[in-house]
Chain A
Amino acid sequence: MPKGTGWRFSLIGMFILLSFLFLTPTLVAKLPGWWGGVFPQDKIHLGLDLQGGTHLVMEVDTQKAVEGSLELVATDLEDTLNTKNLRFKRIARSGADKVILVLYEKGTADAVQKILKDKYPSYEQSPTFDEGGFIALTLRMNEKDAQDRKDKAVQQALETIRNRIDQFGVSEPTIQREGINHIVVQLPGIKDPQRAIELIGRTARLDFKMVREDISPTSGVIPEDAELLKEKTVDPATGAVSEIPIVVQKKSMITGDLLTDAQVRIDSQFNQPYVGIEFNSLGAKLFDQVTAANVGKRFAIVLDNNIHSAPVIRERISGGSAQISGNFTEKTAADLAIVLRAGALPAPVKIIQNVTVGPSLGQDSISKGLYAGLIGVLLVVVFMAIYYKLSGLVADLGMVLNILYLMGALAALGATLTLPGIAAIVLLVGMSVDSNVIIFERIRDELKLGKMPKAALDAGYDKAFLTIMDSHVTTLITAAALFQFGTGPVKGFAVSLSLGIIINLFTSLVGTKVIMDFFLHKGTVKKMSI
């Protein structure tokens, strides 16, 4: 064996072994038990475009979370001032970042200012000003707190969505934050994407509010402490939707935060599904008080600002459990139970991108991609063998190595293979022999100058080296740019392309060279098959 070929062959052999080792989890359906701890587990994942599934990008309306916090502050201040017997005309959120307090007298204003300073030190207080003859002042949430609140809202939304998806049951979902207020959700192989999307995107804010029977919904004049909501009912026979307007108290008696559990149950009498809910101790106490104080009155169960139902309180309910019934199918009841258990989203989310691929299309793409790849490989292999004879076969061997290493590397990284990724691999088949073409043509040049095969070989590889480097680096630059900005499938393309290019440097400069060296090392070979 010629000098210096030993370690190069070992390196190639080692990489082949490694590739197969990393590819095993991908190729073998069920790994034996002993594989476990020591050997690699990662495998090449199929992108959603290949295995079917749903890719969602959601935008969290973070401003709403800030507004929600301000409304809580307003409610809290109302309670505080009431308990201290300080009279006020109005306390409410004002604009995007303020709470406004409208008071009757100067004297109260001084006391209120002091309270505000103690209770909300991080808020900016405005000096008092006149508003329609009353004394007013505003409390402003500072920029940093608002940012924190927004950031937290996205984080909470992410957790809540993760909870919901886990309970819904999807295998290998991906849920991650992207940018400032985007959440990316990938649900591979999901059967009923529409249902999943509704489940994930729902705010699921649950409120119990008293119905204001004293105000007519049609009067058009709604006092400030009340609001007009609608109860939607669907006629099960015709499917017709009707909306009944109902005026309710703006302030919630109890909210969904106080729930500990929600389960689907079946009404034994009518065989109708309903959702049974359990309150925590505070919720149970409140519920007990509210129902005790309001027997005979109606209260509304409000879900995301729609009245789900408005039953009459027949008796005091203690014990902390209640039920939400009416108009459910088993699926809708199950979904409501999931969202109530997982908790409400801190702010509404909007779906801004939804890519859904059916499983049969994915399968079709894989088979076509693989078929095209196979034909491509075959064409190139035959062409090289005809044009460069034995040397062409060496280049073909390099190409096969290139593909094997690339698959191994993709598996090692646990990368995701997309359809453009397959395209990149096919393209690499063509590009990987390019380096050898450049080298072989150099060698032919040298042979024409009358050099012996061994000398021509060395000169050919030497002179072609820089050219090959240059062409690889320029392709790498664009692959890097693609990786940086690309999403999903394009990223898959960029990963396959850049890995392939780097590997190709090795296979063409080391891999094929050592085989050539092996055959020509004696320097006495008179003729080269090229």
Chain B
Amino acid sequence: MEILGKTNIDFIGKRNIAFVISSIISIIGIIGIIQIGRGAANMGIDFSGGTAMQLKFSKPFSIADARVALHKHGIAKADLQEIKDGNMLLVKMAGAAVGKQSEMVQTSFKKEFADNPFTVESSTEIGPSIGDKLRKDTMIAVAVSLLGIILYIAWRFDLKFGIGATISTLHDVLTMVAVFYLLNKEINLLFITAVLTIAGYSLTDTVVIFDRIRENLHKNLKGAMHNIFNSSINEVLSRTIITSLTTFLAAASLFIFGGEVIHDFSLALLIGIGVATYSSVFVASPIVVILENRALAKAGTSA
């Protein structure tokens, strides 16, 4: 079976449209990163420090009552979220000392919701010093892995391909941040894990295409850059789509059936897998075309 027969789509020709779209998304992503740096985005407590609790009540409750109950006991700033399935309440509070907040939340509900007993399904308290360290470690991890990838690709292909692969990887990372920022999803350690995973994964597609381009460049040095790239992408298009599709299927199953804890994580993976496929065709390859053409023009004028 084949999804696509022989295709002949002018991918490189559409680069201007792609660049405009990608630039806009990337700019949003950069804004998102700046906001994360300032702590203005929806930061998970693993970065900002604070308390997160998941409570399971025995009867349905209203979120407004819960807020009032916390207010009465001096917890003014808490982010409350209800999970309808199973009378669960998520409470998130930023800052403050470890050990105090979770106790305060429990006493307030014990008093105010006396007829609705609850159990603490999970509670996470993180001191600010840990959050700071984690933020630093994360930056280093992201930088180290991106640098590792650039060096590897530059070594396996050449610098022009290395640049193309790096920009498209960066683009994927920025897109994931942009989407999470726009959806106001929590930026936490699991999100960063997803981002780094995609940073590694997105290269699979790029490498498949680059390999074919290099092969065709060796075979045919006379054809126009533009055409060699286009035909290479078309030749490997079906495998680009299928490799993404299988991983997408697995991630989608996590997204739909994996439960609350990894819901956002699998969403990030889904976005990443999708955008990685797009960028290997519409970002990585056109950039290499531009760089190659520029190099050729230079060689032409100097000769």
- Contact residues in A for B250 (Cβ distance below 8 Å): 376-377, 379-380, 426-427, 429-431
Pick from A368, A434, A478: contact of B197, CB below 8 A.
A478
Question: What is the CA–CA distance of A430 and B204 in the complex, to the nearest angstrom?
Answer: 13
Query: Does B13 sit within 8 A of A, measured CB to CB?
Result: no
Query: Does B179 sit within 8 A of A, measured CB to CB?
Result: no
**Inter-chain contact A376/B249, CB cutoff 8 Å:** yes
Question: What is the CA–CA distance of A371 and B142 in the complex, to the nearest angstrom?
Answer: 31
| Given A380-B249, A431-B201, A474-B200, also A423-B254 (CB < 8 A) | yes
From DSSP, what is the main secondary structure of chain B's interface residues? helix
- Contact residues in A for B54 (Cβ distance below 8 Å): 361
Kindly specify which of A75-83, A90-98, A136-144, A349-357 makes contact with the partner chain. A349-357
Question: What is the CA–CA distance of A520 and B81 in the complex, to the nearest angstrom?
Answer: 59
| Given A386-B1, A471-B204, A485-B140, also A430-B119 (CB < 8 A) | no
Name the distance in Å between B50's Cβ and chain A's nearest Cβ.
11
- Contact residues in B for A369 (Cβ distance below 8 Å): 258-259, 262
Query: Closest chain A residue to B192 by CB distance?
Result: A490
**Inter-chain contact A356/B1, CB cutoff 8 Å:** no
Query: Does A216 sit within 8 A of B, measured CB to CB?
Result: no
Name the distance in Å between A184's Cβ and chain B's nearest Cβ.
11
**Inter-chain contact A352/B204, CB cutoff 8 Å:** no
Query: Does B42 sit within 8 A of A, measured CB to CB?
Result: no
Query: Does A207 sit within 8 A of B, measured CB to CB?
Result: no
From DSSP, what is the main secondary structure of chain A's interface residues? helix
Query: Does B144 sit within 8 A of A, measured CB to CB?
Result: yes
Query: Does B199 sit within 8 A of A, measured CB to CB?
Result: yes
Query: Does B122 sit within 8 A of A, measured CB to CB?
Result: yes
**Inter-chain contact B121/A357, CB cutoff 8 Å:** yes
**Inter-chain contact A478/B196, CB cutoff 8 Å:** yes
Pick from A375, A420, A445, A478: contact of B200, CB below 8 A.
A478
Name the distance in Å between B176's Cβ and chain A's nearest Cβ.
14
- Contact residues in B for A49 (Cβ distance below 8 Å): 261
- Contact residues in A for B142 (Cβ distance below 8 Å): 481
Name the distance in Å between A334's Cβ and chain B's nearest Cβ.
21
**Inter-chain contact A474/B152, CB cutoff 8 Å:** yes
- Contact residues in A for B196 (Cβ distance below 8 Å): 478, 481-482
Pick from B99, B129, B134, B189: contact of A354, CB below 8 A.
B99
Question: What is the CA–CA distance of A49 and B145 in the complex, to the nearest angstrom?
Answer: 27
Query: Does B18 sit within 8 A of A, measured CB to CB?
Result: no
**Inter-chain contact A479/B254, CB cutoff 8 Å:** no
Name the distance in Å between B202's Cβ and chain A's nearest Cβ.
9
**Inter-chain contact B137/A433, CB cutoff 8 Å:** no
**Inter-chain contact B129/A441, CB cutoff 8 Å:** no
**Inter-chain contact A352/B190, CB cutoff 8 Å:** no
Please report A residues at the B interface, Cβ cutoff 8 Å.
49, 57, 59, 194, 197, 350-358, 360-361, 364-365, 368-369, 371-373, 375-377, 379-380, 383-384, 386-389, 419-420, 423-424, 426-427, 429-431, 433-434, 437-438, 441, 445, 466-467, 470-471, 473-482, 484-487, 489-490, 493, 497
Please report B residues at the A interface, Cβ cutoff 8 Å.
1, 3, 54, 56, 98-99, 102-103, 119-127, 129-130, 134, 137-138, 140-142, 144-145, 148-149, 152-153, 156, 189-190, 193, 196-197, 199-201, 203-204, 207-208, 211, 235-236, 238-239, 242-243, 245-254, 256-259, 261-262, 265-266, 269
9 further interface pairs, Cβ-Cβ under 8 Å (given A353-B127, A354-B99):
A49-B261, A354-B126, A368-B258, A376-B254, A383-B249, A387-B242, A427-B251, A437-B246, A474-B153
